[in-house]
Chains A and B, each alone.
Chain A
């Protein structure tokens, strides 16, 4: 079953169409990636899914129901969590306060505190720094916090926007390991990335986006060996 399905999704800023009718499926329990260069429309697509941009209702189906244009705070309640581009942690709040904010829509205190322990076991670094304000964390730690915070809402679908952005290679490796761990826990993930190789390596299925259109899609393994992808995104000549 598809947890998320985009059908001819179009998103426009003013008169300019950033996304020009794309189809995309994220089956339940899988990790799907959307790769492409800067300005291809990847972030716009994620924002539209998360309810941050107005789109036609039918273009986005989540658990079978049309959610296009639904309000973001309602989508969070329905298990859809976005880790925004550039992380968007609350810099002045402590790590613990940030994580508590992630559970804002939940009222089951006991389950929240057990989820907090889970996040801390996933990111031991966050546990060490729970009393520290988020703005003083390193970029990688902030990314961990942003993912941990999104997990605190107990999402069914996690939308990750460029988790590798601006991070040192070692930290990128670490972040991707945790993304895999989260996926193994049963959370469905839609990953938007510029780092095509890493994204395809962890995903089951991949989509390539160019100037607002999906130009290629298929099992991630096949895309990794596709000559066009290799030339354009993996920096390898034939």
Chain B
């Protein structure tokens, strides 16, 4: 009996935590094979979900940590994607390896981040949102029109036949059988994306608890007081824009490689809003909340796409409402309900939770 009890004690909180981590790791490793048994399309959806999570983590630095509302975030994704496409496609007949281009894409996006950040340093809230929104549109319009007089972006036709990731003869776009397992292109991409995402999560978590993270928190709360603390607010705000943009640039590069075709249409305002929704839904400033929000908003619409149509067919014998319409309707409703009942997000950050639940300033 005693021994039995001690046996049960093996599941102490610390051990339970590790067991949980191991289970999640195993699930993530096995996921693409499980998904590909349903259909390769689902592996692609998982890959896009990871990409969007990566993007949401980048935006979380700007919006969640530093409190700077950015409605044009997708522009950095576009810059990274085009940087990759121009340097690894027949368009300019350049074929640089991906480990060279991804850092270049991050750097170029980072420059664009500073370009956006520098003139908007004094803006906050709604005003900043409007300028960033304009910035996102400017980038997209440039991409649409930079085909004349010199053809740089190939305009609305976009750039096609973009090189996939490859190490020597090992290409990420081909099917391969390794130790008896069939690795399709998307499955190979899945693992490299997953690795990069883990890296992004670690960077986000470290940033949050660093000196820089505390400085962002101070700026979000009260900029004048932050300066009185000795925080170089100019530099720290630019840093938020630059780091967020770099994340976007890397994600864009991966997107270009996976899709092998990009055009300005992939970088419209709705995409920026989608990424922002992921951050807000999950919980601004909370890394795990943002991950949850991004995964939910990536998968649920896809699930709906595959269920709404058959459901209507079986109920009414025909499709009454287009799946696309229902998706947007449910999506909007979900956001409204969230704002009403969980305004700080699904997994709110400790600070935001306090902000929205506790009464403010009681006077002496």
Could you say which residues of chain B place their CB within 8 Å of the CB of A77?
A: 230
Bound-complex Cα distance A77 to B231 (A): 10
- The answer to whether B228 touches A76, judged by C-beta atoms less than 8 angstroms apart, is yes
Quote the shortest CB–CB distance from B304 to chain A (angstroms): 36
* A88 within 8 Å of B (CB atoms): yes
Could you say which residues of chain A place their CB within 8 Å of the CB of B70?
A: none
Could you say which residues of chain B place their CB within 8 Å of the CB of A206?
A: none
* A102 within 8 Å of B (CB atoms): yes
Could you say which residues of chain A place their CB within 8 Å of the CB of B214?
A: 97, 100-101, 104
Could you say which residues of chain B place their CB within 8 Å of the CB of A89?
A: 222, 225
* B315 within 8 Å of A (CB atoms): no
- A-B CB pair tally, cutoff 8 Å: 95
Contact among B224, B226, B355 for A92, CB-based, below 8 A: B355
Could you say which residues of chain B place their CB within 8 Å of the CB of A233?
A: none
- The answer to whether A135 touches B364, judged by C-beta atoms less than 8 angstroms apart, is no
Quote the shortest CB–CB distance from B75 to chain A (angstroms): 30
* B211 within 8 Å of A (CB atoms): yes
* A93 within 8 Å of B (CB atoms): yes
Contact among B225, B229, B364 for A168, CB-based, below 8 A: B364
* A166 within 8 Å of B (CB atoms): yes
User: Scoring B residues 221 to 245 as 1 if CB is less than 8 Å from chain A, else 0, what string do you get?
Assistant: 1101111111111000000000000
Once A52-B224, A101-B214 are accepted as A-B contacts, the answer to whether A76 and B362 lie under 8 Å apart by CB is no
* B4 within 8 Å of A (CB atoms): no
Size class of the A contact interface (CB-based, 8 Å): 35 or more
- The answer to whether B230 touches A73, judged by C-beta atoms less than 8 angstroms apart, is yes
Residue of A nearest to B359 (CB): A136
- The answer to whether B221 touches A93, judged by C-beta atoms less than 8 angstroms apart, is yes
Quote the shortest CB–CB distance from A165 to chain B (angstroms): 11
- The answer to whether A138 touches B222, judged by C-beta atoms less than 8 angstroms apart, is no
- The answer to whether B361 touches A82, judged by C-beta atoms less than 8 angstroms apart, is no
* B163 within 8 Å of A (CB atoms): no
> Which residues between 5 and 64 of chain B lie within 8 Å of chain A, taking CB atoms?
none
* A67 within 8 Å of B (CB atoms): no
> Which residues between 64 and 120 of chain A lie within 8 Å of chain B, taking CB atoms?
71-73, 76-77, 81-84, 88-93, 97, 100-102, 104-105
* B218 within 8 Å of A (CB atoms): yes
* B205 within 8 Å of A (CB atoms): no
18 residue pairs of the A-B complex, CB under 8 angstroms, read A77-B230, A88-B224, A88-B225, A88-B228, A89-B222, A89-B225, A91-B360, A92-B354, A101-B229, A104-B218, A105-B229, A133-B354, A135-B354, A136-B359, A136-B361, A139-B363, A153-B229, A166-B363
